[in-house]
Structure 1
Amino acid sequence: MERRTLLKMIALLTGGAVIGGNAFLTGCSSSKEHDLKERLKLTPQQIALLDEVADTILPTTQKSPGAKAAKVGSFMTVMVNDCYEVPDQQIFLEGMEKLEAACKKMHHLGFVEATAEQRLALLTAIDKEAKEYAQKKGEAPNHYYTMFKQLTLLGYFSSEIGYKQALRYNQVPGRYEGDVPYKKGDKAWA
């Protein structure tokens, strides 16, 4: 039985639409969309670029490793390929090219070759641009840097490094304690 037929039967039996049915049907998308998704596999150089962007957003500190150590670039690849709609995938890919072009314009170097200070200066400027874009947005598509930043945070704090070293982690919590003393500088709970 085909997935599309099964979803129609479920919708008919339950008397309504299947919530998230579009996600189930992505395997039944047109060949044009499928061909586009095949082209969105990122190269090792692009993944390395994403690792460097993520590591600039969440760098290594004395207390915990950075986003590059958590392999956030690979995480971004999976999320973009598996979870993003085709228009957002295009924005993400074009954003990587825009980031490289902006770095070459600002520092006359590619992002990977730039120093940590140069990278930070560039991302700070692009972050400001993304915030201004979000205020004017309306029905405009997402900004690429917002995607980079969100995926960096999600990838890092859902990784083992993020939740065990950057946050406090309690695998099996004990009884409920509603009033836990907090000392300034304590890590947040994972």
Structure 2
Amino acid sequence: MERREALKLTASLLGGSVIGSPLFLSGCSTPKESSTLLWDTDLPLLDEIGETILPDTEQSPGAKAGHIGEFMKAMVNDCYDQEEAEIFIKGLKTIDKEADTAYGKGFLDLSEPQRLALLSKFDRDAKKNQLGNKPHFFTMMKELSIWGYFTSEPGATKALRYNPIPGRFEGCIPYNGENAWA
């Protein structure tokens, strides 16, 4: 091999690696942020919606105690498909917009009776929309609130009867109006 050929080969190898690396690394870019994701900034609103659906009582803590906002965020971000996530997030924005239209302030700034009235309106709308093939956003919020609360530690141990080590199985026992078992 002549010196001239060796220099040409070395130059083409080095040039190809320098020029080719940005092309190769362009496939390693991080994906763009999607508008259909819930963020930590949405947690207070989700918590308050869940707390309005399942409020704190003398017998059991409310949905906020079960960190319902974090549960909803995880389910929407990780388990819902694109269409369901968009419906949920548009619904979240609708709740805040309707609160502003009806009361002149955001949902988080409303009193408890105002929150209940607003969510009751959405619940009535959701019941009318049961025949549609797309779920209503408030139905999704109620389902996630109930599911998340009763699978959380406060919901399972304080709202339901909880026995971490159940005894033997008794098929027929008298029912005295107690809470359901966790």
Q: By the TM > 0.5 criterion, same fold?
A: yes
SS at match of 2:60: coil
- Deviation, 1:39, is 4.0
* Partner Cα separation in structure 2 for residue 101 and residue 39 of structure 1: 18
Which amino acid in 1 is paired with 2:105? Answer: L
1:96 corresponding residue in structure 2: 92
1:134 to 130, 136, 151: 130
Query: For 1:80 and 1:66, how far apart are their aligned partners in 2?
Result: 21
Secondary structure in 2 aligned to 1:99? Answer: helix
Q: Aligned runs of 1:147-166 on 2, under 5 Å?
A: 147-166=140-159
1:40-59 matches, within 5 Å, as: 40-59=36-55
Q: Deviations over 1:145-176 (max 9, x none)?
A: 01100000010000000100000011121111
Describe the superposition over 1:109-163 as per-residue Cα deviations: whole angstroms up to 9, x where unpaired: 211000000000011111000000113x1x3x21110110000001000000010
Cα separation, 2, equivalents of 1:116 and 1:44? 23
- Correspondence 1:122 to 2:118: yes
Displacement, 1:42?
Answer: 2.5
Partner residue in 2 for 1:66:
62
What letter matches 1:160 in structure 2? E
Q: Which runs of 5+ in 2 are unaligned?
A: 1-30
State which drifts further: 40-49 or 142-151: 40-49
Number of residue-to-residue matches in the alignment: 152
Q: CA deviation at 1:41?
A: 3.8
Measure, in 2, the Cα distance between the counterparts of 1:120 and 1:74. 21
Partners of 1:130 and 1:41 in 2: CA distance: 23
Q: Whole-Å Cα distance in 1 between the matches of residues 112 and 41 of structure 2? A: 18
2:109 to 113, 120, 133: 113
Q: CA RMSD in A?
A: 1.4
Distance 1:39 1:105 in 2: 24
Which structure 1 segments of 5+ residues have no match?
Answer: 1-33
**TM-score of the aligned structures, taking structure 2 as reference length:** 0.79
Deviation larger for 170-179 or 40-49: 40-49
Deviations 1:31-84 (A, max 9, x none): xxx646x44442333111000000000000001110011100001000001100
2:175 aligned with 1:182: yes
Amino acid paired to 2:54: L
Q: Which residue of 1 aligns with 2:19?
A: none
Cα distance in 2 between the residues matched to 1:146 and 1:165 = 25
Q: Take 1:89 and 1:145, find their aligned partners in 2: how far apart are those partners?
A: 13
Q: Which structure: larger Rg?
A: 2
1:178 Cα deviation after fit? 1.1
Which amino acid in structure 2 is aligned with residue 187 of structure 1?
N
**How far apart, in 2, do the equivalents of 1:126 and 1:93 lie?**
15
1:106 offset after TM fit, Å?
A: 1.8
